[in-house]
Amino acid sequence: MTDRSRFSGTAIGGRIMNNYLIVTGGQIDDSFAIRWINEHSFEGIVASDSGMEFYKRAGIKPDMIIGDFDSVKAETLDFFRNKDNIHWIKLNPMKDDTDTEAAIRLAIENGAEDITLLGATGSRIDHMLANIELLGIGLERKIPMQIIDANNRIRMIDSGIVIREAEQFGRYVSLIPYSMEVKNVTLKGFKYTLENYTMHKFNSLGISNEITADEAQISFTDGIMVVVEAAD
């Protein structure tokens, strides 16, 4: 296994990998996840610790495996140790960051320009909240990041976006202020519109909106918000 500091900034197998998939140890609907992976192109495939379990079930070999390996089954760890052309990063279990955070930072160190997280939601609400927090790493670096599961797409934004009805994930769009204020919010193409409205934390105003036009526009002048597209 390689030390993380020696791995930083390298290309895998001579390939420059820009679009990264990271699978971590939360709940995964295998049929959805496999379909999503098959429908999208990922140049970099990363397993964060027990995210290896999904890859084993799905028959997918990751390019990189990172973690302290305290939550993965021993037989799964051995299964991938016997595979060729996998870069391993063993982390000290006495660390300040999660394996998922380490995987995100590793992907960015290796040139990721787009990151999708699978297995980042589930019954551990503390882990799910922490993983939403980690979307801010991509935001700081202007690298698009999203959390995907069978029912949700979650993004963090600091500027306006357009969601096309034909491409939206699910039926509902919820906007949750992440900063204390999100100023001059304007929503067009939604069932519930806003015009230069300042959204504040600690309320549920932005929950369960719906797109009513070919495309919906979200714009604002200052602040950070979490955008959740939900299927149910």
How high is the pLDDT of residue 173?
A: 98
**Tokens encoding 103:** 């995987």
Query: Over 60: is that where the pLDDT of 143 sits?
Result: yes
Neighbours of 74 (CB within 10 A): 8
Return the ∠ at Cα 146 (arms to 13 and 189), rounded to 5°. Answer: 140
Instruction: Tell which wins on pLDDT, 33 or 6.
Output: 33
| Phi and psi torsions of 36, nearest 5° | -60, -45
The mean of the pLDDT values for the chain is: 91
Q: In DSSP terms, which residues pair with 41 in a beta bridge?
A: none
Query: Over 80: is that where the pLDDT of 8 sits?
Result: no
How high is the pLDDT of residue 14?
A: 45
How high is the pLDDT of residue 163?
A: 97
Q: How confident is the model at residue 232 (pLDDT cuts 50, 70, 90)?
A: confident
Q: Across residues 208-212, what is the average pLDDT?
A: 97
How high is the pLDDT of residue 17?
A: 54
Instruction: Tell which wins on pLDDT, 92 or 212.
Output: 212
Instruction: Tell which wins on pLDDT, 8 or 117.
Output: 117
Instruction: Quote the percentage of the chain above a pLDDT of 90.
Output: 87
The model carries a pTM of 0.90
| Phi and psi torsions of 143, nearest 5° | -110, 115
How high is the pLDDT of residue 102?
A: 95
Q: How confident is the model at residue 222 (pLDDT cuts 50, 70, 90)?
A: very high
Query: Over 50: is that where the pLDDT of 16 sits?
Result: no
